[in-house]
Amino acid sequence: MSETFVVIGGGVGGGTAALALRAEGFTGRIVVLCEEPRAPYSKPPLSKGVLRGEEDPERTALRPPAWYEKKDIEIRTAVAATDLDVVRKVVQLSTGEELAYDKVLIATGGRPRTLPGSDGVPGVFTLRNVEDSLAIGRQLGPDTRLVVIGGGFIGGEVAASASALGCEVTVLEGRRAPLERLLPPTLAGLYMRLHTEHGVTFHTDIAVSDIAEGPRGLVAHAADGTSYPADLIVVGIGMVPRDDLALRGGLRVENGVVVDAQCRTSDPDVFAVGDVANAPQPYLGRRMRVEHWQNAQHQAKIAAKNMVGGSEEFAEVPWVWSDQYDVTIQIAGKPQPTDDVHLRGDVDGWNFSAVLTRDGGLVGCVAFNRTDDVRSVRRIMTERLPVSLEHLTDSRHDLGERAESAAAATQKEYV
């Protein structure tokens, strides 16, 4: 009897998993449940090309509809999974149907955090899907007053896109510097400087207490008594994992759906990947959720292998990127604010990297337009290559050459 695999989620994790299942030779029924009225798509362009009106939203699709038809993959759009019964092995759908499964993959991602009292206020947005991006983009233009609440990557990308369209952009950051919880102060300061050099106004240590409609649009009120007028406001203060379905199904949930190294949940026939999955990170020595598309994509491929009987483990040095203005920012590893920073390259020209060390060991890299340095650091960490601290921190040494030399020396030892 043919098996049925159900994939819950229409982002890069769910879409990639469905494609990977066919690539792994699974011949049974595959059903992908997409809560949005569109097939699986990639979300990074939403805060960039789509928001600026430069990219057609249809181009974000992972595959055209005909491709899924060719692979006999059922894509059900505008259909949500409302309940999961792991005993009966059925998924309850928003249509009232029950869908029986042999194995299921949860790739439900997350939902944006909102400010209390801001839901439903005209002109106040979060950014999580195509409709959000299009709605925001329609209001952006020369001299539009935009207030962005939150200076992380989503807030920064929206600010950069709006600035490029001629908007008057103000960013309200709740901490002393944007990305303060993640980056050492030197790098957080440089990130903020990148924005201010492009005309964006940053206000830090700002706790927004409420958003109200004023005589000329919106006003964001801060706890210190200051206020910030705007034509529209975008709230970018992070996301929370959409793990409620797993919770109702009795799965182990702890800041996301807890999975093992094979992307398997506490139920052996249920898997989870992407933003919602709290997975072991062997190169960091702990478990955590990684909120980036490459993590979701690669986890999905591992999960697909294991759903069809494999036993492969997911192990990668976390890596994220963000395009803002003409700068590509990349972070490898999991930096901490107290890490030691070793700069390499041209800081003033926005072409540099920062090798990060902790207690004398390599823990990551942050780069501005220095892709090769990030690639080299990830390789050194992944392969645990014996590169000396001197070579890592001295900008006169090329990281790629050091990695190659260390790899060659390591291979020679085992010949």
Tokens standing for residue 189: 């300061």
Per-residue pLDDT averaged across 11-33, rounded?
Answer: 97
- Give the whole-angstrom CA distance, residue 207 versus residue 223: 6
pLDDT interval class at 379 (50, 70, 90): very high
SS (H, E, C) 64-107: CHHHHHHCCEEEEECCCEEEEECCCCEEEECCCCEEECCEEEEC
Is 407 a residue whose pLDDT tops 90? no
Q: Is the pLDDT of residue 409 over 80?
A: no
409 or 289: which leads in pLDDT = 289
Contacts of 216 (CB under 8 A, 6+ apart): 229
114-235 shares its CATH topology with 326-413: no
Backbone phi, then psi, for 117, in 5-degree steps? Answer: 85, 0
Report CA torsion sign: 136, 139, 142, 143. Answer: negative
For residue 412, the model assigns a pLDDT of: 58
CATH of domain 4-111+240-307: 3.50.50.60
d(CA 298, CA 304): 10
Contacts (Cβ under 8 Å, ≥6 apart) of 54:
none
Tens-digit pLDDT profile for residues 42-70: 999 999 999 999 999 999 999 999 999 99
pTM of the model: 0.93
User: Which residues fall within 8 angstroms of residue 68, CB to CB, at 6 or more apart?
Assistant: 18, 32, 39, 74, 75
Q: Alpha-carbon distance 98 to 406, whole Å?
A: 55
Under 8 Å CB-to-CB from 217, ≥6 apart: which residues? Answer: 123, 145, 229, 230, 231, 232
> Quick one: which H or E segment has residue 193?
helix 185-196
CATH architecture of 114-235: 3-Layer(bba) Sandwich (3.50)
Max Cα–Cα distance, the chain, nearest Å: 76
pLDDT of residue 20: 97
Number of other residues whose CB lies within 10 A of the CB of residue 400: 14
Query: So where are the chain's domains?
Result: 4-111+240-307, 114-235, 326-413
Instruction: Indicate the helix (H) or strand (E) that contains 352.
Output: strand 351-358
- What are the angstrom distances between the C-alpha of 351 and each of 190, 273, 326, 330, 333? 12, 34, 11, 12, 20
Q: Which residue has the tokens 């398997």?
A: 264
Q: Are 256 and 109 in contact (CB under 8 A)?
A: no
pLDDT of residue 104: 98
User: Nearest 5 degrees, angle CA 8-CA 11-CA 15?
Assistant: 70
Q: What's the confidence (pLDDT) of residue 392?
A: 85
pLDDT (mean) for 388-414: 78
pLDDT tens digits for range 168-209: 999 999 999 999 999 999 999 999 999 999 999 999 999 999
Higher per-residue confidence, 300 vs 404? 300
Of the listed ranges 133-137, 230-234, 266-270, 394-398, the one predicted with least confidence: 394-398
Of 375, 363, 325, 347, nearest to 189 (Cα)?
Answer: 347
- Mean pLDDT, the chain, rounded, equals 94
Joined tokens for residue 175: 């901490």
DSSP 3-state helix, strand, coil percentages of the chain (rounded to 5)? Answer: 25, 30, 40
State which H helix or E strand residue 149 sits in: strand 145-149
Cα angle: 404, vertex 186, 162; to 5 degrees:
95
Given 3.30.110.30, 1.20.1560.10, 3.30.390.30, 1.10.520.10, which CATH number is that of 326-413? 3.30.390.30
On whether the CB atoms of residues 395 and 343 are closer than 8 A, the answer is yes
Torsion angle defined by CA atoms of residues 51, 52, 56 and 61, in that order, rounded to the nearest 10 degrees: -40
Q: Does the pLDDT at position 411 exceed 70?
A: no
Indicate the pLDDT class of residue 415, thresholds 50, 70 and 90: very low
Q: What is the pLDDT of residues 346-378, one digit of tens each?
A: 999 999 999 999 998 899 999 999 999 999 999
CA dihedral 189, 191, 197, 198 (to 10 degrees): -150
Distances (CA, A) of 363 to 84, 127, 188, 299: 39, 31, 17, 22
CA separation for the pair 296, 157 (Å, rounded): 20
311-354 per-position pLDDT tens digit: 999 999 999 999 999 999 999 998 999 999 999 999 999 999 99
Give the pLDDT of residue 259: 98
- Tell me the CB-side half-sphere exposure of residue 349, using CA atoms within 13 A: 6
Sequence-ordered strand ranges (E) for 160-300: 168-172, 201-203, 208-214, 217-222, 227-230, 232-235, 239-241, 257-258, 270-272, 277-281, 286-288
Q: What is the pLDDT of residues 127-163, one digit of tens each?
A: 999 999 999 999 999 989 999 999 999 999 999 999 9
Task: Say if residue 78's pLDDT is above 60.
Answer: yes
Residues 6 or more apart whose Cβ sits within 8 Å of residue 309 = none
